[in-house]
Chain A
Amino acid sequence: MGVKAVHRITTGRNGLGAFILQCKKMDFHYCDWAGSSKGMNGFIKSILPKFAAAHPQIEFTVSPRPSKHPVIIGHYINGRDKAICVRNLEPLQILKKVELLRDASGEKLKKVTKPVQSINESVRGIWSPYHGNGMRV
């Protein structure tokens, strides 16, 4: 029985091109009556169709929430979600917020002090005072 080669499905690009968008779902809540939802209603009518067509990997839901300010909630693949209130904002301002949610990782906001971050362990290992030659004081 000869060895059968496994068919290659994806092209290996050494990690490049394997990016998965962290935002998996976006909820748009609006109110039909309230004035604070005016911009949101305009956004849903005019901008959302194009934005949703451009991002087929994100699930979009639009539902009313009467007597409440308009909110956009982003759901992320790490299980967290992020909500932004867009009351009294114009459609283009709301688009900025939507892009922010799209680009967010879903992690809690942290102060970034170092230019490079890695989840790999250090090659040198963790320093220990009981190992090595010790240090003379």
Chain B
Amino acid sequence: MRRLPRLGSSATVAALPMSSTACLRTPAASLFKCEIALTSATQPHSVPRQRHQVWANRFQSQRRCLSSAPPPPASTPEKAVDGASDVDTQNIQLSASQSRRRLRARLPKTDLTIPRKQRTVPRPADIPDAEYVPAESGLGLEEVGGLEGWWDNPAHWGPSKNYVGFGLQEKVMDAALLQVLARKALVEAIALKDKFESKIKNYRRVDPTPAEFRMAELVRISSKEILVAEDGSPTMAQHDVYKTLKALSHRLPVAEGEVLPKPVGPEMTPEEAKELLESWDRNWKAASIEDPALRFYLVKRIQRLTGHVIPDAKLVGVRHMGGLLSVLVKPPKALKLAELITTKSLLPTLPNVKIYPRRVTPVDKEKMVGRWKLIQKELQERGLPVVGTEGYGAAVEKKWVTGN
């Protein structure tokens, strides 16, 4: 919001209009004329006289009282030489093209598709064709080109502008695969804890690269032996810590501005994950994750690897890895009764039994006896809705008959 100038003297007070709305209503041309010379304010003019001059647009000042826009150029004398004005226009055009070039040079390198330079049609006066009649209004003219909706087109946005989420976009839903990935996260967390203790800042070593979902790496890292102490704290052998840290060190932070590759899911099938899971003993699930730094890394890493965000409210009650897995791995959705009967082939083997997977509607019943097409045809002939009421209300006649 533009501030109005401070009222310095009684003269300037008198020079201002009485209300702000009045000045908004004043035409811009008259506002520019409403300038008061600072020097004139110091002169012993009487207030009524100044006011009179202001209202008569004769009071000149260097101080702008209402508009921050520059004053309009003084009217060119009519006797100005035509040639000189042409030179001026050329200079202006040159400077405009230079400034455009400079602006383009200053633009940062981008993968956005920037619209081409706008071309304008020549003015009617510049067209040599004598028979050309310019249109008087734009009504009915076809609009060609234009920048409307330019940025709505996804093709005009570069790949760097695409959203790349931190977590895996497509969540891993298989229980065995989830457990393998969770164990991998735990092994990494233990290795980092062993190296950096609980300095949480140093845990930010792992950044997304597609390599971490490769089968060999998944097996290599997640199969490291986890030793659980009596108090539940998880540890690993030193050479395992070293190897894990070495694997992690390949994934140093990505350079700024580099487009991250979109992560794809793990290369392991659920059957392979199940086999791998069965090859481990269950002690690792008793590992305590009460250390906040370890827990934070684990949750962040699980989000990255599986796409599952574990809510804080559930995380509060989790003390060990098994608890975390019970939050992470949800039981499979129960089968519907119709699906269960069909999969177990309990009833469909009998010839006198029929199973419907969804509700049998009145239309279905008509179809079963072959009456539906006739009903449809008769309703359409009468202009009545085939399905639904189509805005027709309840029968009024019923009220008349029952007297309600």
Contact = CB atoms under 8 A, between A and B. Distances in A.
Nearest to B354: A61
Interface stretch (A5-13, A50-58, A92-100, A117-125): A50-58
Contacts of B346: 45, 49
Given A58-B352, A59-B352, A62-B354, A49 B338 contact: no
Contacts of A45: 337, 340-341, 346
A71 interface: no
**Count class of interface residues, chain B:** 10 to 19
A63 B341 CA distance: 12
Nearest to B335: A32
Interface in A6-57: 30, 32, 41, 44-45, 48-49, 52-53, 55-57
B313 interface: no
A61 B368 CA distance: 13
Contacts of B337: 30, 32, 41, 44-45, 64
B239 interface: no
Contacts of B356: 61-64
A49 B347 contact: yes
Contacts of B340: 45
A63 B336 CA distance: 11
A45 B337 CA distance: 8
A120 B360 CA distance: 42
Contact of A63 (B347, B350, B352, B360): B360
Contacts of B103: none
B282 interface: no
A63 B353 contact: no
Contacts of B350: 49, 52-53, 60
A65 interface: yes
A64 B341 contact: no
Given A52-B352, A56-B352, A62 B347 contact: yes
A58 B353 CA distance: 9
A57 B353 CA distance: 11
Contacts of A66: 359
A59 B351 CA distance: 9
A48 B340 CA distance: 14
Interface in B269-313: none
B342 to A, nearest CB: 11
B355 interface: yes
Nearest to A44: B337
A29 B336 CA distance: 14
Interface in A57-107: 57-66
A52 B336 contact: no
Contacts of A49: 346-347, 350
B340 to A, nearest CB: 7
Nearest to A25: B352
Contacts of B353: 48, 52, 60-62
B399 interface: no
Given A44-B341, A45-B341, A32 B336 contact: yes
Contacts of A41: 337
Given A55-B352, A56-B352, A60-B350, 17 more contacts: A30-B337, A32-B337, A44-B341, A45-B340, A45-B346, A48-B347, A49-B346, A52-B350, A52-B352, A60-B352, A60-B353, A61-B353, A62-B341, A63-B360, A64-B336, A64-B338, A66-B359
Ranked 7 nearest A-B pairs via Cβ: A63-B356, A60-B353, A63-B360, A61-B354, A32-B336, A52-B353, A62-B355
